[in-house]
Amino acid sequence: MRLIFLGSPGVGKGTFAKEVMAKKQIPQISTGDLLRNAMKLQTPLGIKIEGYMKTGELVPDELVLEILSERIHQEDCQNGFILDGFPRTIPQAESLEQKPDLAVDKVLKFNAEKEVIIRRLSNRRVCQNCGATYHLINFPPKVSGVCDVCGGTVGQRDDDKPEAIERRLVEYHQKTAPLVNFYQQRGLLVVVNANGEKHETMPQVWDVLES
Ligand SMILES: [Zn+2]
């Protein structure tokens, strides 16, 4: 089962991905992590990538695909994978499509009303020390403002303040709308209603994956 998850910030994609990973025994593959990891390990590809990063150039799609292709041949991907952060553009989606070993089965697009997303994101709090995330209503830290994990300060990221959320959502829709059309035309897109809580969204996901 090779999947792509699309959805705006705050829609809950990460949470849904975790559920699918656990139940279907497939990893979530973040291209950002792969690139950082290759650089850290100084693999031949990593060294090339570092060259682009250093000069501030975009890493060519071809290189990203190469590294993705290496990754999905590892054993934990034998049941499939969930792609995270790639593709982001039509050319990337097109080149992905041309690699038979990277062909995806389904693209899940999680939709939620703007008000729902704003409510979720504006209640999000993050530990400034270890990055643990909290939610003021669903998952507050035990002691207000203090991280359960490390005792660090828990606060709101500038990105999660209302003005910034509006901007992120506009940016997201501009970038992703073409991809949604692309996968719709190919009959791969399935829309999942993510307005409700996790226990309302996940049954829809399981239905999609079983069908
Ligand atoms: Zn912490």
Q: How far away, in angstroms, is 122 Cα from ligand 1 center?
A: 19
Q: Measure the CA–CA gap between 184 and 50, rounded to whole angstroms.
A: 35
Report the pLDDT averaged over residues 18-41: 92
pLDDT above 90 for 176: no
**106 classed as catalytic:** no
Report the separation in Å between the CA atom of 9 and the middle of ligand 1, taken as the mean of its atom positions: 22
Residues 154 and 55: their CA atoms lie apart, in Å, by 35
Asked about 142 being catalytic, the answer comes back as: no
Q: What is the pLDDT of residues 35-90, one digit of tens each?
A: 999 999 999 999 999 999 888 888 888 899 999 998 999 999 999 999 987 898 89
Catalytic residue among 24, 36, 48, 88: 88
Quick one: average pLDDT of 14-23? 92
Distance 130 CA to ligand 1 centre (A): 4
Is CATH 3.90.1580.10 the classification given to domain 2-11+83-95+103-210? no
pLDDT score of 185 more than 90: yes
**Each residue of 107-163: pLDDT tens digit?**
999 999 999 999 888 999 999 999 998 999 889 999 999 999 999 999 998 888 888
Residue type, 5: F
**pLDDT given for residue 206 in this prediction:** 97
Query: b/e for 140-157, b at 16 or more Cβ within 10 A?
Result: ebeeeeebeeeebebeee
Ligand 1 center to residue 123 CA distance, Å? 17
Query: How far apart (Å, rounded) are the C-alpha atoms in residues 71 and 114?
Result: 35
Sequence-separated (6 or more) residues with CB below 8 Å from residue 179: 6, 87, 88, 89, 90, 93
What is the model's pLDDT at position 189?
96
Ligand 1 centroid – CA 168 distance (Å): 25
Top pLDDT among 201 and 137 is at 201
Residue 182 predicted with pLDDT over 90 = yes
